[in-house]
Amino acid sequence: MNCDAMKDRMPLFLYGELGFDEEEDFEQHMAACAACQVELVRVRRLHDLISEASVAPSLPLLAECRRELRTHMMPASRGVWSWLPHISIHMPGADNGSFWMKPVAALALVAVGFFSAKAPVFSGAANYAGVTASRVRTIEPDRDGRVQIVVDETRQRVLSGRLDDEHIRRLMISASREQSDPGLRAESVELLKSRVGSNDVREALMQALQHDANSGVRLKALEGLRPYSAQPEVRKALSQALLTDDTPAIRTQAIDLLMASRPSEFVGVFQQLMEKEQDNYIRLRTMKALHEMNASAGTF
């Protein structure tokens, strides 16, 4: 086999997609061809670089992709038979008899099998049994104030309910902790912000503020906690974010919220921040806060 054919097989070889005989032929050629050996080294390096590359999509891009996917999926879920009358298949030399009906019937059967697997919509407490946090895939608010949550089972199904529904809220809190999907976490936190008066929602937002790996999710959680910044547990979460978060916007907002009420409790936190803070604006803002509390900038 010539070198051009071997070059075409190099990506398949690197991904382990060659059959046994093909792989044996490939390795024999590599052992005897110095030019292909050099090319294989180059291709392997290229594949390694591609594998090492890691690009995290932005939250707006993730949300847009989700909306577009749902938009394209929705027409398919509205029924099979609505589009069957519009199908016509014309075979050269065929009349309008049974000959062309066979492929139509076959296509209809495929369509029935495909669309019958689309996610049905369930509502009511009995339908939440067995749903776990790791199975939540998408969350979409409706115009009437309800929420639709797609969960993965043997096949997907849609659970519909309002945010004040305990089962819906519990699923959304679980989705806010789905580590593999920052877009899902962002959507969940954004919707949960309107129910932050509930203790379980407030705890979920504090958890997101302190531990979520995505700064966009943490910012949304901080925004949701703003009305409750005077509560001791929220203030504790804000002080931790102030000292540990690597996003300047979050640290700046945390300073403002802590200064809004009883700031003297956190003089030590501000002084610790002054010892480690590298951002000039935040340093100035912290010094101003300490000055307003008649406290020194350093710890003693």
Q: Give per-residue pLDDT as tens, 22-79.
A: 888 888 888 888 888 888 888 888 877 777 665 666 777 777 777 777 676 655 544 4
Q: Give per-residue pLDDT as tens, 207-236.
A: 999 999 999 999 999 999 999 989 999 999
CB proximity list for 198: less than 8 A, separation 6 or greater:
169
CB proximity list for 163: less than 8 A, separation 6 or greater:
145, 147, 169, 172, 191, 192, 194, 195
The residue behind tokens 């700031």 is 263
Residue 191 in contact with residue 141, Cβ under 8 Å?
yes
The residue behind tokens 């509205």 is 78
Q: Are strands 146-151 and 157-162 parallel, antiparallel or unpaired?
A: antiparallel
Q: Give per-residue pLDDT as tens, 243-267.
A: 999 999 998 899 888 888 777 788 8
